[in-house]
Amino acid sequence: MNRIALSFLVLGALFTSCSSDDDNGSDGNQVQAPATFQFQRNGITTVDYNGQTTRIDMGEEFVTAIKDNSKTEAELDGMFTNTGNYFSTTVLNESTKNIRSKTAASSDYFSANTTVANAIKADFDSWIANQVTEVFPSWETTATAGNAGRLQENGGTYRYINSKGLEYNQAINKGLIGALMVDQILNNYLSTSVLDAGTNRADNDAEILAEGKNYTTMEHKWDEAFGYLYGTDDALAPMLNQDSFLNKYLSRVENDEDFAGIADAIYDAFKLGRAAIVAKNYTVRDQQAAIIREKISEIIGIRSVYYLQAGKLTLGTDNASAFHDLSEGFGFIYSLQFTRQPGTDEPYFTKTEIDAYIAELLEGNGFWDITSTTLDTMSDEIAARFNFTVAQAAPSN
């Protein structure tokens, strides 16, 4: 048997000795994990994700405006599509970016699925429209089963809900976390279909920079993924909870002791993967992408279960509070269809499964009719697809 082992050694040696210098892309290159997400070429940064920061900023103003009953549907639509100068700054108004075009728009999930992408965009459009036509006119009316209006939490806060108890602003805000951030990160910018598109790999190997830029296209794609999570945070020392989207909920999950460490795991994978691109080691790059896909998907799964369980705690005793939690849960569950199981082309839950959950949550009078049993069953089913339990995800008290 030793001689066989020896033969393998010889074989290995032959491979090594014959492989020429164009071998850069294969497994061999050592990748040093950098301390932070700082990358430079000739002393100048190669990291740029201003487009992502812009969209997060637009999202912030948009989800705030959605809760302002003085807004018209045209204004809200205008913020979703960046038309009509409804943002507070000229920087945003004059930007070529907008949120809607990147909603359900990843290469892997939607480039050959534009019919579904259109339907998802239409969901957001209808939530906006319904907020204006159903909820805004009932702003001062007390909501009842089957009638839109407001409900007051025991603590005093008013929640503005539709006839089924759903806060459209929560559906939109939490739904965007999946349809915009998660989908763009996991199914677009970290995908080989995007990272390796066209001549990206050959260009990165040869360090051919994007026209007029200090980065290779592949480097930039990776950074755009990074930007959808850290675009309003400190890239070198993330504080977390710096937006109302994915960055905030990474913070929430990190602060649950059952999941402490997830923030470092994600940040480490982002910086090691980026360093791997610089080192032209695409195996390490894709390993890090897989880690990010798993961990970010987990955030969505954990928060889905968290809010279903949170809603259960006050259901019937403080419905305003319960419906608020369930509305957040609704948005996170909607977002599950944009998650990505590492090593596959599939989300943790298909659109069909999510459509069924949404229908179940809104059946009859929606949250007014929902039972603890339904919430528990749904929680169990969601947790079962991930590496966490309902108890771990649920609120701790």
Partner 1 sequence: MKKVIAMIKKIISLLCVVSIIVACSSSDDSNGGNTDNFDRTALLSNYADNIIVPALSDFQSKVSDLDVARANFINDINQSNLDLLSGAWLEAYRSWQYVAIYNIGIAETFTGNLNGFRVYFNVYPVSTSLIESAASGTDYDLNADAYFAAQGFPALDFLIHGIADSDTTPLDKFTTNVNFEGYVDYLTNVQSQINNRSTVILNNWQDTFRDEFVANTSSSATGAFSKIVNDYINYYERALRANKIGTPAGNFSAGQTFPDKVEAYYKNDVSKELALLGLDAVQKFFNGQSFDNSSTSVESLASYLDYLDSSQLKNDINAQFQVARQQIQSLNNSFSQQVIDDNTQMTQAYDALQAAVVLLKVDMASIFDVQIDFQDNDGD
**Closest CB 80 distance from partner 1, rounded Å:** 10
Q: Please identify which residue in 33, 112, 236, 260 interacts with partner 1, judged by CB under 8 A.
A: 112
Pick the closer one to partner 1 by CB: 164 or 221.
221
Q: In three state form, how does the secondary structure of the chain look?
A: CHHHHHHHHHHHHHHHHHCCHHHCCCCCCCCCCCCCCCCEECCEECCCCHHHHHHHHHHHHHHHHCCCCCCCHHHHHHHHHCCCCCCCCHHHHCCCCCCHHHCCCCHHHHCCCHHHHHHHHHHHHHHHHHHHHHHHHHCCCECECCECEEEECCCCCEEEECCCCCCHHHHHHHHHHHHHHHHHHHHHHCCHHHHCCCCHHHHHHCCCCCCCCCCCHHHHHHHHHHHHHHCCCCCCCCCCCCCCCHHHHHHHHHCCHHHCCHHHHHHHHHHHHHHHHHCCCHHHHHHHHHHHHHHHHHHHHHHHHHHHHHHHHHCCCCHHHHHHHHHHHHHHHHHHHHCCCCCCCCCCCCHHHHHHHHHHHHCCCHHHCCCHHHHHHHHHHHHHHCCCCHHHHCCCC
- Interaction with partner 1 in 213-232: which residues (CB under 8 A)? 217, 220-221, 224
**Closest CB 61 distance from partner 1, rounded Å:** 19
Pick the closer one to partner 1 by CB: 4 or 44.
4
Pick the closer one to partner 1 by CB: 200 or 379.
200
Pick the closer one to partner 1 by CB: 107 or 365.
107
**Closest CB 201 distance from partner 1, rounded Å:** 10
Pick the closer one to partner 1 by CB: 33 or 112.
112
249-263 residues labelled b (16+ CB within 10 A) or e (exposed): bbbebbebeebeebb
Pick the closer one to partner 1 by CB: 48 or 258.
48
- Interaction with partner 1 in 69-88: which residues (CB under 8 A)? 81
**Closest CB 22 distance from partner 1, rounded Å:** 5
**Stretch near partner 1 under the rule CB under 8 A, chosen from 105-113, 238-246, 248-256, 366-374:** 105-113
**Stretch near partner 1 under the rule CB under 8 A, chosen from 8-16, 57-65, 331-339, 387-395:** 8-16
Q: Please identify which residue in 126, 199, 255, 350 interacts with partner 1, judged by CB under 8 A.
A: 199
How crowded is the C-beta side of 137, counted as CA atoms within 13 Å? 8
- Interaction with partner 1 in 21-40: which residues (CB under 8 A)? 22
For position 7 contacting partner 1 by CB under 8 A, the verdict is yes
Q: Please identify which residue in 45, 193, 350, 371 interacts with partner 1, judged by CB under 8 A.
A: 193
**Closest CB 42 distance from partner 1, rounded Å:** 23
Pick the closer one to partner 1 by CB: 194 or 235.
194
Pick the closer one to partner 1 by CB: 30 or 115.
115
For position 202 contacting partner 1 by CB under 8 A, the verdict is yes
Q: Say if strands 44-45 and 149-152 run parallel, antiparallel, or are unpaired.
A: unpaired
Pick the closer one to partner 1 by CB: 13 or 356.
13
**Residues near partner 1 (CB under 8 A):** 1, 3-4, 7-8, 10-11, 14-15, 18-19, 22, 51, 81, 96-97, 100-101, 111-115, 118, 121, 193-194, 197-199, 202, 217, 220-221, 224
